[in-house]
A and B are shown apart, each in its own frame.
Chain A
Amino acid sequence: MKRILLFTLLAVACSGYADDHTVPDAAFSAARSLYDTENYAAAAAKYDDILSEGWQTAEVYFNRGTALARLGKTGEAIASFETALLLNPRDADTLANLKFVRSNAGLPAPKQTLLDRALGYLAPREWRLLSIIAWWGFAAFLCVSRLLPGRAAWIRNGYIISLAILLIAFAGRVHNWQQVRAPAVVVTAKSAQALYAPLPDATRFFDTPEGSTLQLVEQTGDWLRVRSGAQVGWLPASACTIVRVAQ
């Protein structure tokens, strides 16, 4: 009976993630062939098609960014690499290409605190999984310690450790939430300048060369309020890309 119940639960859980779409391996290979023949624009368009179908994997964003970098579209390439890093933050290839594109364009890497680096080590999905495991572990250890008092010390230690992991995972989730709330914005226009006000003829505030990575403060209509260090200015939404992965 227990096995049947477990099997049913697993089936129900897995059915939520099953899909009836055909995986776009063919389109992925075609894009790669186009890239190999130096048809970077067509390759990037192919990757855009895959993304527009709803597929989202770090590999697609990485390849798209590489094709865009070959085309000289620094801003869009950086935005694509940043999105790939949101899905797979430890990918060495993405980090290397991002560094290469930035250094070629003379752009500094955005400053990150030690806490940001630590909490950005795991992807949002990994933080979510870790928090679920820690939450269940914490609950299990706590229940056992309440139901079986005076048992071995490993139960108490287990629930303290799982609580610590749960708190860390919670910090990671908060960090992810912050990234969703105030995501990075990459300037994709060739010569954009942040303005004092969301008006086309407003006074220019500070330079935002193509590929600059800023932080979104708020969005009003076709204008984005962005932060660069201590300066906060307005950029037209058409001049930049918000780095965001649909949850």
Chain B
Amino acid sequence: MKRTIHRIRAILNTFFLVLLAALVAQSVLAMDVTLDIEPQVLQLGEAAVARITLHDAPNAPPPRLPALSGFNIDSLGREQSYSIVNGKQSSQVSYTFRLTPLAAGDFQIGPFQYDTGSGLINIPAVALQVLARGEPAAGGSAQNWDDLMFAAVTVNSPTIYAHQAFDLVLSLYTQPGLNLDRNISLSNFDTTGLTLSPFEELPPSRESVSGKLYEVRRFRTRALAIASGNFALSPNLQVNLIVQDGNRSRRNDPFADSFFQGFFSRVETRPQTVECRPFTLQIHELPSDGRPPSFSGAVGQYSFDVTAAPLQLKVGDPITLTLRIQGRGNMDAISAPIVTVPDNFRSYDARLIEQQPNAGLKVFEQVLIPRDGSASEIPAVSFSYFDPTRERYETIVRGPFPLALSATASAGTASVIQSPGSPAPAAPAPLGHDLVYLKRAPDHWHMRTPETAQTRTIRIAVNTVPALAILLAFGYARRRERSERNPLELLRRRAPRSARAALSRSEAFLKEGDIHSAAQALSDALNRFFGPLLDLPPGRISSDEICHRMKANGLPEAQCTSLHDVFSVCERLRYSGPGAAGSTAEAKQELERITQQFMELLPACQRVAR
């Protein structure tokens, strides 16, 4: 019993030791250590920062950089961070060092090994380039601009063919100390023969060109060559230089002190055009030699896969062929590979079912239906493309796909023995959807006729009559509102009509021979006309007053006399009483005369009063 317990204990101890060793080994294997140095190109007097990052090794001993001649190495400290992503915890410890160069030249840190305490990890080498510091320029303008700042166009492929997609990179090189704002625009970029996608900026970097240090900003676009030939690319970059405003007068400036200048110094931007170094893009025509028949314009590197399902089926059942093309190239130009099937297949057009431009994926689906049992296999499907790297056509063939066909129930060998006289079996009616049957003739046919003058008139009338009605209604309403606001104006406007009504009454009395009433009506007409016209109360309407005002308003002398005559005769006939003014015939004639005179004077008086 004791021996058994001892044996079990030994087994358990062994198991735990193995488990512990496995865990340690796993932790060493899982540990990831990276060395990163920025910048990798620097000048004397500048310092680079090296960062060793330990992933998922919180208890590992601090790493050390190997001694490097020509550099002072100082430790800057340690940073630790934790993160939990999808429930999985990870830790990261970074050790940073300052690398101060003591001499110019090319250097290399590493490779070296880091002892984690549980194993050694190899850290690859990192190259450093230290440039001698140049003489400071006397001023920006005194130095050659091409040395301070230049731009270049590059492509990522040594040989470019028509229909090839490639990366075109615009690089802007500026010497350190030259400040540019973030806005950069492109001009004079002739993109004949190319189709470009929008530019994206890549992370900035440093480069040494002809022994000089440059800050480099790169802009990349995905270009597609749409025609062959030589194309000169020499775009201009419009940049904005940030410079201190040195012209500002500070004679009376109370803050013209070096202390305040740090706070109050002004900067301004100056636009500058940077011409790209000339670059000729040579786009070759796709070779005609060796062009496979299945080539349909794909240029790039692709993989091609075909699946067919189901492969065991009955005659008449559909087979779905899935054609999957994935890769890097001119994906937009890729169409479905042609599946050539014999006559014992019914074939439908392939359709695009999935497209992921970023992943460079296109998936097509094509349906094939075996018509009879002789269809033993789906022929091989080929996809051809031109590989610009290998500079040759490639063809990927998938298939053939053998089929296991079984006959349909209706095509079986069994037959029904039909008794004479029995009705013939009805043709099997197709189940499912079908086209809706034709429509009956319409009750009203509509003829397409050009617009005639008549229909045009009606159309214009239909559209304009309501507008005219609205205008008239608004005009009328406005006039009415104006009258309501100014009753005198209303009376003045109505005065001629009112006077004419009174004159009509006067004429009626005159026909009846009632001279007195006719004169009274004429007087009423004069009052109704001149009262509102000259804004006079009834008591102030007299021949003198009216004539005076009319004369002042510009009525001719002769008409004033005539008007005076009308008033005086009217007054005389009105107040003389019946039979007192001579014979009735004379009075009637006189009244008719002054009525006529008044009728003639009405328009002139109205015009003058207005």
Contacts and interface: CB of A to CB of B under 8 A. Distances in A.
A76 interface: no
Interface string B431-452: 0011111111110011111001
Interface string A8-32: 0000110111010101110011001
Nearest to B441: A28
A24 B445 contact: yes
Contacts of B458: 12-13, 16
Contacts of A66: 435-438
Interface size on B, as a range, is 35 or more
A136 to B, nearest CB: 5
A210 B452 contact: no
Nearest to B478: A146
A45 interface: no
Contacts of A190: 349
Interface in A189-237: 190-191, 193, 196-197, 202-207, 209-210, 231
Contact of B335 (A28, A139, A149, A193): A193
Nearest to A211: B349
A139 B332 contact: no
Contact of A146 (B224, B442, B462, B474): B474
A192 to B, nearest CB: 11
Interface residues of A, number: 59
B477 interface: yes
Given A55-B445, A100-B434, A139-B470, A105 B349 contact: yes
Contact of A206 (B332, B367, B462, B466): B332
Nearest to A19: B447
B454 A63 contact: no
Interface in B538-558: none
B470 A142 contact: yes
B473 A147 contact: yes
A196 B449 contact: no
Contacts of B367: 106
A127 interface: no
B5 interface: no
B470 A143 contact: yes
Contacts of B446: 55-57
Nearest to B476: A147
A160 interface: no
A54 interface: yes
Given A93-B436, A149-B477, A15 B454 contact: yes
B491 interface: no
Given A63-B438, A146-B477, A207-B335, A54 B466 contact: no
Interface in A135-162: 135-136, 138-140, 142-143, 146-147, 149
A16 B462 contact: no
A167 interface: no
B447 A55 contact: yes
Contact of B348 (A13, A32, A106): A106
Interface in A82-99: 93, 96-97
B349 A203 contact: no
A21 B449 CA distance: 11
A100 B435 contact: yes
Interface in B581-601: none
B335 A204 contact: yes
Contacts of A147: 473, 476-477
B462 A132 contact: yes
A70 interface: yes
Nearest to B330: A203
B463 A135 contact: yes
Nearest to A147: B473
A19 B463 contact: no
B462 to A, nearest CB: 6
A10 B296 CA distance: 65
Contacts of B195: 196
A126 interface: no
B259 to A, nearest CB: 57
A135 B459 CA distance: 13
A35 B437 CA distance: 10
A182 to B, nearest CB: 22
B492 interface: no
B439 A135 contact: no
B482 interface: no
20 contacts: A12-B458, A16-B458, A19-B447, A25-B441, A29-B441, A57-B445, A70-B435, A106-B348, A106-B351, A135-B463, A136-B462, A139-B466, A142-B473, A191-B349, A203-B224, A203-B330, A204-B333, A207-B336, A231-B332, A246-B448
